[in-house]
Every structure is written in structure tokens, then in C-alpha cells.
Amino acid sequence: MNLIYVPAEESDFEPLFRLSKGLIDRYENISQIDYFKVLSWVGNKIEKNISEYTCIFRDSQKVRYYRFHCMDEKMELDDIYIFTPCQGQGIGSEIIRKCISETGLSIVLYVFIQNMRAVSLYKKLGFRITETIRDSRYIMERKLGAFQA
């Protein structure tokens, strides 16, 4: 698979925010959160860290974003988004394997419990559920040296 990795730019803020909002709208229990406060937090996080995001292109088409950064002696795989038409083609697996190969640290991520496709993929790649947050999200971790499919 021929993927090209390019640093995100300020112009990527809007698509990243829309993708985040879409996942919140689809998977979060909106009645359990301060929706506008959460959206404000997401927007601020993306804006503040836009230089840490990566855009992935395949055949000159943008297909994915993600952020892979150090957090408390672990790496965090954050905001991993694949555009709907490109899902199910192995791109996510390839990017996660790339991240795994780039670090000697454990990797953590947050995923919505109802996003069963993502949960299944992460388990297949050696991540295990370590915590449940507000009955809507899991924290998953892949320990250093964990099995990789």
C-alpha cells in the first residue's frame, strides 16, 4: 500500500474538528455530557496541537488523520480518523503498525465503546481495555512487546 505521510496544516483544523464532532454525535451519550463544553475542548485541543497531526494520502487522495505523541512516559495514538469511503481497506492497520514500530514505549488510546469496528481492530493489534470512562469510552493500551497480528 502506497501511503504518504504529511504534517497537518492549519487548513486541516476544520476537517479534523468535523470528524471529531461526528464521532461524538454518533457514539457519545449526549445527555451525559456538557456538549458545547466538550466541543470547545476538542476545538482547542486540535488548534493547539495541529502541528502534531499527520495527514495520510493514498494516490494523492487524503484518506486519514492521526496524532501520535508522547504522554506521561507512554505514547498516545489520538484522533485516528479514516474517511468513510476508505474504511475497511487495511489503512488503519498499516498506520497503527507504523506507530508501533516507531516507539519502544507502550501505546494508549481512547475509543468509543460503541465503535465496535475500531475496538475489534485495536484488540487484533494487541491493545487491551484498561479502563472504562463514563460508560461511553474505553482506554486501551498496547504494552511494549505485546503480540501484533
Q: Which residue has the cell 470512562?
A: 133
Domain ranges (residues) in the chain: 3-142
Q: Give the pLDDT mean for 6-27.
A: 94
CATH number of 3-142: 3.40.630.30
Among residues 79, 84, 65, 80, the alpha carbon closest in space to that of 3 is found at 65
Q: Bridge partners of 3?
A: 58
**Band of pLDDT at residue 49, cut at 50, 70 and 90:** very high
**Above 60 in pLDDT, residue 1?**
yes
Residue 145 binned pLDDT confidence (cut-offs 50, 70, 90): low
Residue 146, pLDDT above cutoff 80: no
Average pLDDT, the chain: 90
Task: State yes or no: pLDDT of 4 exceeds 70.
Answer: yes
Pairwise CA distance, residues 50 & 41, whole Å = 14
pLDDT in tens, 82-141: 777 667 778 888 989 999 999 989 999 999 999 999 999 999 999 999 999 988 999 999
7 contact partners, CB below 8 Å, separation of at least 6: 51, 53, 54, 55
At 80, give phi and psi (nearest 5°).
-90, 110
